[in-house]
Structure 1
Amino acid sequence: MQHTSSMARRRLLMAGGALGLAAAAGPLLTAPAQARATAAGPCTRVTDLGPGIEQFALMSALQVGDTVYIGSRNLEPTRVLAFHLPTRKVVAQTVLGVGHSIQALAADPTGRYLYAGILQKGDEGKPNLFRWDLTTPDKPAVGVGRTEDRDIRDLAVAPDGTVYAVGGIPGKAPALWRYDPGTGKVTELGVPDPKATLARAVAATDTTVFFGAGSTLGGGDGASKASLFAYDRAAGTFRNVTPPEMEKDPSLRDLLVVGDRLVVSTSGSTEPAKLAVMDLADLSSYSLTPTTGKVVKNLTANADTVYFATDTGLHSYSSATEVISPVAFDGDLGEIWGLDAVGGRLTVVSGYGFVGELDPATGRAVVTDLGEAGAPVIAQTAMGIAADHRYAYVGGNNGIARHDLRTGEVVNLRAPGEAKDAEVLDGVLYTGQYSSQGMWTYDPLKGGQPHQLADFPAEQNRPLDVCHDPVNALLLVGVQSDTEGGGSLWTYSTKTGEKAAHINPVDGTQLVRAVATRDGVAYLGGDNPTAQGPRGTIVAFDPVAGRELWRLDLPGSLTTGTAALAVRGRHLYGLTRKGGFFVVDLTIRRVVHTADHRAVCPGFAAMVTSRGVVYGVSDTTLFRFHPRTFALSTVVAEINGAWYSGPHVNADHRGRLYTMRGRNLVRVEDRPVI
């Protein structure tokens, strides 16, 4: 189901500056303007190509009665939709307006109240727990409390109506939180696993709350693996009840109470994910079954059958035989964010933006596109960007928007996960897909949908930077391992199809944040998300032989982690994650220039070399560096791209730049006088 839309009318901007040292861009004009270059200064033209990627992106779903409630993802403002199954229409919605996504939904035992938990990028100081009265859906949900753990990843409501929440915040071990609807108070109940970095699962009975945590994000550096704790509601104490077979996995992923049993699942990494069924009366008594997937989530049950989603589709587990079987479906369900079993049928909510009503006995299904059913199709925050002479691509959640630069048509392509970065070579798109999806590709001449080109070790799950090495005909991808720490360099030969993963080429703690190439040598920029250890090391690497050639430890204030790298001639340009700028002369392997650009680039950044000039983009500004003096000049001020996981900038074969201005894709034609 491809969605097409007409591009909004293109708008052009002309901005001039003096002597090539500044080209500030003001508000876009409402009508096209001709950009003119003169000998006195540069010419910068910005063309607005419309929303980067539009869809109803989602991150949670829960069926209550005959209605499925669906939480948004990376949309502004956040909202929950009500999708009515009998009519297959969106019949209500409530706008929460806090945070960027809703991953956690839970209903109270009466079915009257729906609770929603928020994910935030920063501490907004606002409620992150909301309640919607489903008897009056025309009235908005209200904020009822706030946990100090910024992000709520899962919610559970006990039989007496008490709400429990888990989640996390970077740099702090996650706690168990309780909301008492009688008093309206939110209370921290303790931190059962001080070495965990994130809690993703919670379930509750009359007597016990089950808390599942681990290190799906921020692994390594001594972080714990999967852990399951039972909290005694009367005594207020925690007890570790983790099945030993699950302790190698990075995290507990989901929990479900079914009668007298507790169903437990994990996210896998170096091993496949696992499923366990535990006896609530004796938690040491359980059956455990390995799966073939990287993750087991969205647990639901019908009688003695447990259904769940993995990265390979839908599966069922028979409690009687302890056998896992695939559930037939003619099509691609993509990344599943909602699964409920009611009356012998399954309701599946896909990240591709549809609701599927599936008969597991026959595999027959009715699929309803949420946009066509009345869900708002709006611009979301963007990820990777790539372009050539015909198409520009913008990555989002479970989709990649293809912008036709001739006609203005925009088509949403399907790709599971997130296209974190991308390149176009000879008209073919190549992407690095998060999480653990490897490299994907799409050829517009062949049509169809993107497909996986190469897989890589599952624990090397977060591709960050994609670049092309024309000397060796290799695609180079810098990668982070969320669960194990460190990272890798992926290589893929566009000639032979051979692939390789070079694990921890910087060291055991530094991921590979950025990659640049010159004369067949890859330059890797290290970063370290933990509080301990080195960060910001530069490594020259032979991607064919798979060996280090030399390394450079940056001095002083530049040791704050690499944000971006680019090569021009014999110089390697680099930005750190705190605005430090450096230039390395590759012939003598020394830093020959440094500067402090925190005012323009205080955090994540991206760089690209175009028309002999290195350009960079931060969250706020598009800028360039003078090729001789290395001075920074603003190209477009207050560009303020709406990014989800750090800014991106890329160039087509003519040297035109593509990045985001707000939630719109823009093309920037810059001709500085240098």
Structure 2
Amino acid sequence: METTNISRRLVLQAGGAASLAAVLGLAAGQPASATAQADPKPNGTNVLDLGPAVVQFSLMSGLLVGDTLYIGSRNLDPVRIIAFHVPSGKVTGQTELSNGHSIQTLAADASGRYLYAGVLQKDVGTKPNLFRWDLSAPGTAAKALGYIGDRDVRDISVAPNGRVYAVGGGSPTAPALWEYDPATEKIVSLGIPDSGATLARAVAATDATIFFGAGSTLNGGSGASRACLFAYDHAAKSFKNVTPAEMLVDPSIRDLGIVGDKLLVSSAGSVQNSKVAALSVATPASYSLVTSEGKTAKNFAAMGDKVYFANETGVLAYSPTANTVSAMPYQGPSLGEIWGVDARDGKLLVTSGYGFVAEIDAVSGATRTTDLGEAGAPSDPQAVMGIAAGAGYVYVGGNGVISRRSLSTGEVTNLTAPGEAKDAVVVNGALYTGQYSGQGIWSYDPRSGKPIAQVADFPKEQNRPLDVCWDDANKLVLVAAQADTEGGGSLWTYDPQNCKKGFFVNPIDKVQLLRAVATRDGVAYLGGGNPGLDGLGTVVAFDPVAGKELWRLDAGAGAGISALAVQGRYLYGVTRKGGLFVLDLPKRAVVHRSDISSVSYGFAALVTNRGVVYGASNTHVFRFDPKTFAVATVVADIDGGWYSGAHINNDEDGNLYTMRGRNLVRIDDHPRK
């Protein structure tokens, strides 16, 4: 099959292997010193701190104001905005925000004095999520303005009169339209236009009308709304649905932008490609629409007679007069996930999730790039995704990067990879990852000298691979994936020997998200659930070669399944609500249930190691007695720095790898038997 390669940028963290070894208390090529082996336990447990897992300046937004590109960080602590001065190519300032983990949206007022930022948060509460930075006094910290009632701020627009509008999601209720009035310094809700929407990611405002775009980007299916666009009349205080008919089949509205008297609207693609429409601001029922390329269309920037925007692979040009979309000429490295497109002096500025800014000539495609780390952006430890270990290396997934750590020297190399490696496995020395969003399976073999590459692709709506394991009987990589926008999920398979892939959609049903996979004797055991629907937690025994269900039973005990692992004849399962169940596979029956919420609640991970099933949650590492199934704490209060749920994995020697804070740790545990 065809493979898609991506250029590799290698970055040695902590100043290279020698200095990293010093940080870890290691001499290159030598075993850890006794002082580096923290937390010796009476039962023979040793925990070794390997240092920060993934270090890189990570970003999630970019906005040009004058000659300065302001960039919002992603997945760093503390969250911050940096100021990148384009003419000098240097980072000239920054401000830290008091709350949040990422900044997905930036907006400036008409004067260019005030820069507004909204943050994403981990918990629903009342901590501030809307901030303002006075660019006339950049040495002054950004001010917390308050809290919009939705947990996450996904988009902000500032009307010409200075009023600020914000949208988002992440709370138990449907997303609302929020207004901040600088005159009163109050944040108020203007209402929830669609009670079935799960997330709003787009807002654009004039003084008279505010446009609100939402849909079912997360937790799709199960009756959630599809793409919906509303116009809010500020004087009448009322919403009107103005969604272009052609977008109603798409999961959500992705972006909005006002260019002259037109409202630019894009939809997020799923089973169909994205669409771009130009609506009359005054009469939105009047519009032109075109199908775009790819599943993403965002970050509108007008230049000349065209509007440029990003999809998942690059930059496209939309001609409002011809109503056409075309690829822009481009000569440069992969742009990865794009978080900003701006126009300056006849060229485009593209803010890449890979941590660089590209200045592109829109006619010739000639490109000049600036690495933000080299320009002065601070590189800090990220919260992480999947972990895999084997053949002398540990791999950890971050945003747009996978770190590769040598266990013999301590050297850390950053591999540039699109999206996020949600989970991974090492097989015969090669790494196989499940890449979010919709990137399929990627592979990297450090012995080959070749860059990481995509080896299997799947329908883009099957976008979130959550669990990866190796089926030794069938010699297959197995990946459990969920479909965020459509509901349900799929099982992916990949045969490294023959480079063949398999794909089985909704092997549980159309509602349950596929979150976990484990294997024994050539049978894949699939675990399902749905965060919005309690009571669902089905286990399906599945033949991954024939694509055939063998049997199923309800095992979740009223909660979705978070993780599965097999030890001997038993299948262990952990639910999101802190329940443990154990299935006797030959008998096809649940033989044990218990409450383990004291060590695990929410999304956890399981792995079989040294004849015992181990687990990791956001707070603990634990294991189960193979005879009584009793849970025992291995490491308490580990509080891993996870971006999207805990992970734990092992190497050939039986060492476990997980996170403590934002540091990678190796656990050598010898349970009594």
TM-score (norm 2): 0.95
Pair 1:443 & 2:451 matched: no
Distance 1:183 1:432, change over 3 A: same
SS in 1 for 2:474: coil
- 1:633, CA displacement in angstroms? 1.7
Aligned to 2:575: 576
Distance 1:386 1:273, change over 3 A: same
Q: State the AA in 2 paired with 1:282.
A: T
Aligned to 1:627: 626
Q: State the AA in 2 paired with 1:641.
A: G
Paired with 1:458 and 1:568, the residues of 2 have a C-alpha distance of 34
Aligned to 1:216: 217
Aligned to 2:485: 483
Q: State the AA in 2 paired with 1:45.
A: N
Encode CA deviations 1:159-179: one digit per residue, 9 max, x unaligned: 111100011124311111110
Are the aligned partners of 1:389 and 1:405 in contact in 2 as well (CA < 8 Å)?
Answer: no
- 1:33, CA displacement in angstroms? 4.8
Paired with 2:21 and 2:277, the residues of 1 have a C-alpha distance of 51
Are the aligned partners of 1:10 and 1:48 in contact in 2 as well (CA < 8 Å)?
Answer: no
Unaligned runs of 5+ in 1: 14-27
Are the aligned partners of 1:9 and 1:50 in contact in 2 as well (CA < 8 Å)?
Answer: no
Pair 1:4 & 2:5 matched: no
Aligned to 1:655: 654
Say which of 404, 411, 418 aligns to 1:409: 411
Pair 1:32 & 2:41 matched: no
- 1:85, CA displacement in angstroms? 0.6
SS in 2 for 1:55: coil
Aligned to 1:264: 265
Aligned to 1:552: 553
Paired with 1:483 and 1:594, the residues of 2 have a C-alpha distance of 33
Moved more, 340-349 or 57-66: 340-349
Aligned to 2:507: 505
Pair 1:346 & 2:354 matched: no
SS in 1 for 2:414: strand
SS in 2 for 1:187: strand
Unaligned runs of 5+ in 2: 1-8, 27-31
Aligned to 1:23: none
Aligned to 1:193: 194
Are the aligned partners of 2:120 and 2:151 in contact in 1 as well (CA < 8 Å)?
Answer: yes
- 1:559, CA displacement in angstroms? 2.1
Encode CA deviations 1:57-79: one digit per residue, 9 max, x unaligned: 11111000000000011111111
SS in 1 for 2:374: helix
What aligned pairs does 1:91-240 form with structure 2 within 5 A after superposition? 91-240=92-241
Q: State the AA in 1 paired with 2:558.
A: T
Aligned to 2:3: none
- 1:411, CA displacement in angstroms? 1.0
Aligned to 2:614: 615
Aligned to 2:302: 301
Are the aligned partners of 2:462 and 2:483 in contact in 1 as well (CA < 8 Å)?
Answer: yes
Are the aligned partners of 1:249 and 1:269 in contact in 2 as well (CA < 8 Å)?
Answer: yes
Distance 1:431 1:623, change over 3 A: same
- 1:8, CA displacement in angstroms? 5.3
Encode CA deviations 1:294-348: one digit per residue, 9 max, x unaligned: 1101111113200000012111112232222212132211100011012211111
- 1:632, CA displacement in angstroms? 1.5
SS in 2 for 1:371: helix
Aligned to 1:366: 368
- 1:10, CA displacement in angstroms? 6.5
Aligned to 2:4: none
Aligned to 1:666: 665
Pair 1:540 & 2:544 matched: no
Are the aligned partners of 1:658 and 1:667 in contact in 2 as well (CA < 8 Å)?
Answer: yes
Pair 1:330 & 2:332 matched: yes
Are the aligned partners of 1:336 and 1:350 in contact in 2 as well (CA < 8 Å)?
Answer: yes
Aligned to 2:475: 473
SS in 2 for 1:74: coil
Q: State the AA in 2 paired with 1:377.
A: S
Aligned to 2:638: 639
Encode CA deviations 1:54-107: one digit per residue, 9 max, x unaligned: 011111110000000000111111110000011111111000030111111000
Backbone CA RMSD of aligned residues = 1.8
- 1:281, CA displacement in angstroms? 3.1
- 1:34, CA displacement in angstroms? 9.8
Structure 1 runs (4+) deviating above 6 angstroms are 34-37
- 1:370, CA displacement in angstroms? 0.8
Q: State the AA in 2 paired with 1:175.
A: A
Aligned to 2:523: 521
SS in 1 for 2:564: strand
Q: State the AA in 2 paired with 1:577.
A: R
SS in 1 for 2:45: strand
Distance 1:179 1:515, change over 3 A: same
Are the aligned partners of 1:10 and 1:47 in contact in 2 as well (CA < 8 Å)?
Answer: no
Are the aligned partners of 2:124 and 2:170 in contact in 1 as well (CA < 8 Å)?
Answer: no
Moved more, 534-543 or 348-357: 534-543
Paired with 1:544 and 1:595, the residues of 2 have a C-alpha distance of 34
SS in 2 for 1:671: coil
Paired with 2:21 and 2:255, the residues of 1 have a C-alpha distance of 42
What aligned pairs does 1:355-434 form with structure 2 within 5 A after superposition? 355-434=357-436
TM-score (norm 1): 0.94
Aligned to 2:29: none
Distance 1:603 1:498, change over 3 A: same
Aligned to 2:6: none
Aligned to 1:74: 75
Encode CA deviations 1:333-384: one digit per residue, 9 max, x unaligned: 1100011012211111100001111111121122111111111100010100
- 1:139, CA displacement in angstroms? 0.4
Paired with 1:421 and 1:322, the residues of 2 have a C-alpha distance of 41
Are the aligned partners of 1:490 and 1:499 in contact in 2 as well (CA < 8 Å)?
Answer: yes
SS in 1 for 2:285: strand
Paired with 1:581 and 1:564, the residues of 2 have a C-alpha distance of 10
- 1:292, CA displacement in angstroms? 2.0
- 1:29, CA displacement in angstroms? 9.9
Between Structure 1 and Structure 2, how many residues are aligned? 654
Moved more, 373-382 or 500-509: 500-509
Moved more, 625-634 or 203-212: 625-634
SS in 2 for 1:122: coil
- 1:661, CA displacement in angstroms? 1.0
Pair 1:589 & 2:588 matched: yes
Moved more, 155-164 or 404-413: 404-413
Paired with 1:480 and 1:450, the residues of 2 have a C-alpha distance of 23
Paired with 1:34 and 1:666, the residues of 2 have a C-alpha distance of 10
- 1:389, CA displacement in angstroms? 2.8
Paired with 2:327 and 2:38, the residues of 1 have a C-alpha distance of 59
SS in 2 for 1:43: coil
SS in 1 for 2:246: helix
- 1:12, CA displacement in angstroms? 8.6
Paired with 1:32 and 1:378, the residues of 2 have a C-alpha distance of 22
Distance 1:208 1:72, change over 3 A: same
SS in 1 for 2:286: strand
Paired with 1:96 and 1:90, the residues of 2 have a C-alpha distance of 17
SS in 2 for 1:284: coil
Are the aligned partners of 1:11 and 1:30 in contact in 2 as well (CA < 8 Å)?
Answer: no
